[in-house]
Amino acid sequence: MTDILAIEGLSAGYGAAVVLSDVSLSLPQGQSLALLGRNGMGKTTLLTSIVGLTRHFGGNVRLGGRDITRLRPEQRAAAGIGWVPQERNIFRSLTVEENLTAVARPGQWDVARVYAVFPRLRERRRNMGNQLSGGEQQMLAIGRALVLNPRLLLLDEPTEGLAPIIVAELLAVLRRLTREEGLSAVIVEQHARKVLDVTDQAVILERGGVAHAGPSAALQADAGLLERTLGVAGRR
């Protein structure tokens, strides 16, 4: 199976600071990856390095076999990387529908299909971005990434700060996207056990390096490892 994402010996950071050191991981086409770790261990930096927003110190990043290490962020987006940052970055002065149509590219994901996944966005399609709740803004941010028709979707803390009922709704959507639609994705998430339910593979970062890599189901079953590396204890 071809890897949609292959990272080899990546070292990256900001300015003179090296945050990631010799990180290597791979993700097969059509699979999803939970990127886990305590705060400050490099998870967001790894996503932004894939996007192309950090300083590169060494190693390489490949997307579907193509070396994208030296590409600019907009070139990486054109190559097929969709990104949902923590800040969401929606256009607050545009309506929901304008947010979606402004960035849409040809492909299987169009505005109508996004509305089918997020019926609430259809109901709010004429509302401005700044009139949406936090959960609705996150739905819109994911929808904006989907209408780019990415080959790889990156999501940074998609449920952070949201009400439990919205978290459950978003996790159900992510399960549909990864399990049923077969969309390749890397998901940074604090709800470790919940995101392991919707992903195939898992990587734990510690101090900017890979401390664990393996199937999500195996990590889900290893309570000792979850507690040692993430502070996760007990049942969900």
pLDDT of res. 83: 96
| Burial class of residue 161 (count of CB atoms within 10 Å of its CB; 0-12, 13-18, 19+) | exposed
The type of residue at 174 is L
List CB contacts of 120: < 8 A, sequence separation 6 or more.
136, 139
Q: Note down pLDDT in tens along the chain; length 236 residues.
A: 689 999 999 999 999 999 999 999 999 999 999 999 999 999 999 999 999 999 999 999 999 999 999 999 999 999 999 999 999 999 999 999 999 999 999 999 999 999 999 999 999 999 999 999 999 999 999 999 999 999 999 999 999 999 999 999 999 999 999 988 889 999 998 889 889 999 999 999 999 999 999 999 999 999 999 999 898 754 44
pLDDT of res. 64: 96
Q: Which CATH code fits 29-54+72-230?
A: 3.40.50.300
Instruction: Please state the φ and ψ torsions of residue 235, each to the nearest 5 degrees.
Output: -85, 165
pLDDT of res. 121: 97
pLDDT of res. 233: 59
Domain assignments of the chain as residue spans, ordered by start = 29-54+72-230
CA–CA distance, 17 with 143 (Å, rounded to integer) = 34
Q: Is the CB of residue 202 less than 8 Å from the CB of residue 31?
A: no
pLDDT of res. 53: 97
pLDDT of res. 231: 85
Q: Tokens 């400050």 identify what position? A: 40
Give the count of beta carbons closer than 10 Å to the beta carbon of residue 58: 14
The residue count of the chain comes to: 236
Q: Tokens 């999803």 identify what position? A: 32
CA–CA distance, 148 with 166 (Å, rounded to integer) = 24
pLDDT of res. 145: 96
> What six digits make up the tokens of 114?
């996004």
